[in-house]
Structures are given as structure tokens and as C-alpha cells.
């Protein structure tokens, strides 16, 4: 993901933010646990 992307519309910015939030919670692997945050939460539940 490009941190310096200039959006032209509010909707485009919102889509980028939504994609990043999805990535951060569902796809990002934490080095310490080798799990995504969602997988870790499911383990604890």
C-alpha cells in the first residue's frame, strides 16, 4: 500500500482506509504469534 497516495475524492479516500483496516485486522501476520489479529482473537474466545 502506498502511503503517499493522493486521493481525488472523499469516496476514494474512504475506500483506501477500508482496505487498510481490512488488511490490518484480517491479513497482517504478527511476527510474534505468526497469526493474524483475527485468528488470535478467535483463539482467545
- Report d(CA 37, CA 44) in Å as an integer: 11
The domain limits of the chain are: 10-44
pLDDT in tens, 1-45: 556 778 899 999 999 999 999 999 888 888 888 999 889 888 887
Q: What is the pTM of this model?
A: 0.67
Give the three cell numbers for residue 10. 472523499
pLDDT of residue 3: 67
Q: Are 36 and 25 in contact (CB under 8 A)?
A: yes
Amino acid at each position: 500500500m502506498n502511503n503517499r497516495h493522493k486521493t481525488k475524492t472523499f469516496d476514494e479516500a474512504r475506500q483506501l482506509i477500508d482496505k487498510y483496516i481490512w488488511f490490518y485486522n484480517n491479513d497482517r501476520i504478527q511476527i510474534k504469534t505468526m497469526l493474524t489479529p483475527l485468528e488470535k482473537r478467535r483463539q482467545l474466545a
